[in-house]
């Protein structure tokens, strides 16, 4: 017989379903002794992060069905995102929602039980009245319904996106409820007379930790007309199955965040602001610009101004080689021991510690620039052009690759990958080296700061022709440029569909904040299986939230990790 009992304590609700009656062997258990962990099914409601606790009992059941309470001998385990144990008592803090598995072990015998953790949170912004939630009872009034303007419907973001901003067209309301709900969560934030708001990193995590998708809605009410409210059309918000890893180094102009120069963001700390890494005041000529990093993040190539002197820098000390040589673009070998640099269309292989030239790289007499080494260190992609100006302005560019032998430090003959009469440039290898991401612009245009620039991918072996990232390119004159891959592959959805992330600089509007004509760093997912089938491989783009809106941000370069500065 099954019985149900409920225990309520303040803001915490625990529902327990426990078996009772005479001892008998569970026919679903394997032969031999096993542990029975009770309650066998439980739910904890975490309201506004008030901790909720539940004490478990463990019984050892032998072959005859006889039971022995071994709770005091049991070791308990649960994924730390859900909570922790002190003895047999589990406490959830609201950091994660969903179904957690509690496992108990005694002398090599184990048993487990599920615990469903449901998170509910609400926050009233200072712009709203303290009783803002009271305005959202009554009847629907379509005239008060807001319309979500950002993010795009069905947006897919990394699990650790950090702050999640929402914009809406107000309708006839002056108080708003922004809600993100899933199967295991309900998070709501209330705002006064505004057209945008944001879920904090903690609120985002609480809302989405237990689900791969959530429902975003915005409701509006008018404080002069209590008893009615309007609701936006619901939008799905989806996330990857894993948090994104790595660091992003980008160029930013002077802004409210600080001095112009190279700034960086560590995705391991999604709620933290970006950190200045190498600013203009640290440069020998007052300006920093193009940069590239080794995959492990320990080394950086840095050019002081466009077409200026350059240095190879240790990222932990920010000390570098004397800026006696000149180059604009660079790419490191996977070992970090060599680096390819380019100056006025001539690529050079250098020692990555001393900057000494090892050899010139032949490109059949053509203007070559934008070098990018693959992750295996076996092939170099680059732009081969009819002509160029300071490596930034390239005309009639095509994407070529050439083999590289790390043992002999020799490059082979270049072979064409994308040659079609358009202006193709800025190649970048996917994390598994199977795809090359690149920019394409109208024939006869330039490459730097080019409004017609768009994002494309091509299979590195040429078996799949160029495919446009249509979602990411949505709109005209957006200057979608400087595209790069995040360093690690991920999965998406219940079927674990492979997904990579790409970042790029774009001058598109950021929702209702505007900013058109001012570059910001945007991100979009890339699905390789869709690209292989000739389908649009991208999803709706979104702006990375750590940036200053009053800064021009571009040349975003990824590393596998962020190295601490000594």
Instruction: Give 412-455 pLDDT, tens digit per residue.
Output: 999 999 999 899 999 999 999 999 999 999 877 788 889 999 99
Rounded Cα distance, 251 and 471, in Å: 25
pLDDT higher than 90, residue 107: yes
pLDDT higher than 60, residue 21: no
Average pLDDT over residues 173-199: 96
Pick the range with the lowest mean pLDDT from 80-89, 187-196, 317-326, 382-391.
382-391
Average pLDDT over residues 307-327: 95
Q: What is the pLDDT of residue 339?
A: 98
pTM: 0.90
Q: What is the pLDDT of residue 29?
A: 57
Rounded Cα distance, 195 and 175, in Å: 10
Taking CA atoms, 285 is separated from 279, 305, 391, 555, in Å, by 11, 8, 20, 20
- Whether 175 and 163 have beta carbons less than 8 Å apart is answered as no
Rounded Cα distance, 524 and 522, in Å: 7
Pick the range with the lowest mean pLDDT from 18-32, 196-210, 231-245, 302-316.
18-32
pLDDT higher than 50, residue 23: no
pLDDT higher than 70, residue 11: no
Q: What is the pLDDT of residue 22?
A: 32
Q: pLDDT class for 472, splitting at 50, 70, 90?
A: very high
pLDDT higher than 70, residue 313: yes
Rounded Cα distance, 333 and 338, in Å: 6
| Strands (DSSP E) found in 20-80 | 34-38, 41-47, 52-55, 57-61, 67-69, 75-77
Q: What is the pLDDT of residue 448?
A: 87
In sign, the C-alpha dihedral spanning 432, 433, 434, 440 is positive
Q: What is the pLDDT of residue 30?
A: 59
Average pLDDT over residues 334-349: 96
Q: What is the pLDDT of residue 320?
A: 95
Q: What is the pLDDT of residue 27?
A: 55
Q: pLDDT class for 516, splitting at 50, 70, 90?
A: confident
Pick the range with the lowest mean pLDDT from 101-110, 184-193, 274-283, 387-396.
387-396
Rounded Cα distance, 370 and 385, in Å: 11
Residues 6+ apart with CB under 8 A from 553: 250, 251, 252, 253, 263, 505, 519, 520, 521, 547
What is the overall mean pLDDT for the chain? 91
Half-sphere exposure of 509 (CA within 13 A, CB side): 11
Among 152, 154, 207, 147, which residue's Cα sits nearest to residue 183? 207
DSSP of 132-179, one letter per residue? Answer: GGGGG-SEE-GGG--EEEES-TTEEE-TT--SEEEEEE-TT-SEEEEE
- The percentage of the chain sitting over the pLDDT mark of 70, rounded to a whole number, equals 95
- Whether 111 and 58 have beta carbons less than 8 Å apart is answered as yes
Q: What is the pLDDT of residue 28?
A: 60
Task: Find the angle CA(267)-CA(271)-CA(274) to the nearest 5 degrees.
Answer: 65
Longest dimension (CA), the chain: 88
Q: pLDDT class for 31, splitting at 50, 70, 90?
A: low
Q: What is the pLDDT of residue 514?
A: 84
- Whether 162 and 204 have beta carbons less than 8 Å apart is answered as yes
Average pLDDT over residues 346-355: 97
250 — phi, psi (to 5°)? -140, 160
């Amino acid at each position: 017989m099954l019985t149900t009992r409920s225990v309520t304590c303040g803001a915490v609700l625990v529902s327990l379903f426990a078996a009772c009656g005479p001892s008998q062997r569970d026919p679903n258990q394997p032969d031999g002794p096993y542990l029975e962990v009770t309650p066998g099914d439980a739910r904890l409601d975490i309201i506004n992060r008030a901790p909720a606790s539940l004490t478990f009992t463990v019984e050892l059941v032998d072959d005859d069905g006889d039971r022995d309470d071994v709770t005091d001998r049991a070791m308990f385990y649960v994924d730390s995102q859900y909570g922790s144990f002190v003895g047999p008592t589990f406490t959830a803090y609201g950091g994660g929602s969903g179904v957690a598995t509690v496992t108990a072990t005694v002398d090599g015998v184990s048993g487990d039980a599920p615990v469903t953790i449901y998170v509910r949170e609400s926050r009233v912004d200072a712009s709203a009245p303290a009783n803002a939630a009271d305005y959202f009872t009554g009847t629907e009034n379509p005239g008060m319904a807001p319309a979500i303007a950002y993010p795009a419907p069905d947006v897919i973001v990394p699990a650790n996106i950090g702050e999640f901003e929402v914009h809406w067209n107000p309708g006839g309301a002056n108080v708003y409820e922004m809600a993100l709900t899933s199967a295991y969560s309900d998070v709501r934030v209330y705002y006064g007379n505004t057209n945008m708001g944001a879920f904090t990193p903690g609120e985002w995590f609480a809302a989405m930790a237990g689900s791969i998708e959530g429902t975003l809605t915005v409701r509006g009410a008018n404080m002069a007309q209590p008893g009615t409210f309007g609701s936006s059309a619901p939008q799905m918000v989806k996330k990857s199955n894993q948090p994104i890893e790595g660091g992003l180094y980008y160029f930013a102009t002077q802004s409210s965040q600080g001095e112009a120069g190279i700034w960086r963001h560590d995705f391991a700390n999604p709620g933290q602001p970006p950190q200045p890494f190498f600013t203009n005041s640290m440069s020998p000529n007052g300006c920093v610009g193009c940069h590239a990093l080794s995959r492990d993040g320990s080394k950086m190539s840095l050019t002081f101004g466009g077409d200026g002197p350059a240095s190879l820098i240790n990222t932990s000390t920010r000390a570098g080689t004397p800026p006696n040589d000149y180059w604009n673009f660079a790419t490191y070998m996977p070992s970090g021991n060599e680096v390819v640099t380019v100056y006025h269309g001539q690529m050079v292989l250098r020692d990555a510690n001393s900057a000494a030239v090892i050899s010139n790289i032949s490109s059949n007499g053509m203007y070559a620039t934008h070098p990018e080494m693959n992750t295996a260190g076996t092939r170099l992609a680059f732009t081969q052009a009819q002509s160029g100006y300071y490596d930034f302005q390239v005309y009639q560019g095509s994407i070529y690759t050439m083999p590289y032998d790390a043992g002999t430090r020799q490059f082979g003959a270049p072979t064409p990958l994308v040659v079609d009469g358009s202006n193709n440039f800025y190649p970048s290898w996917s994390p598994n080296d199977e795809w090359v991401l690149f920019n394409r612009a109208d024939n006869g245009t330039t490459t730097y700061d080019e409004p017609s620039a768009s994002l494309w991918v091509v299979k590195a072996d040429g078996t799949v022709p160029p495919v446009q990232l249509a979602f990411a390119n949505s709109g005209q004159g957006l200057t979608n440029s400087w595209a790069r891959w995040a360093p690690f592959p991920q999965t998406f959805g219940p079927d674990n569909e492979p997904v990579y992330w790409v970042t790029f600089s774009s001058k598109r509007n950021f929702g209702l904040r505007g900013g058109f004509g001012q570059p910001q760093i945007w991100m979009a997912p890339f699905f390789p299986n869709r690209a292989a089938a000739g389908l649009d491989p991208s999803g709706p783009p979104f702006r990375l939230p750590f940036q200053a809106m009053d800064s021009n941000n571009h040349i975003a370069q990824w590393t596998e990790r962020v190295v601490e500065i000594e």
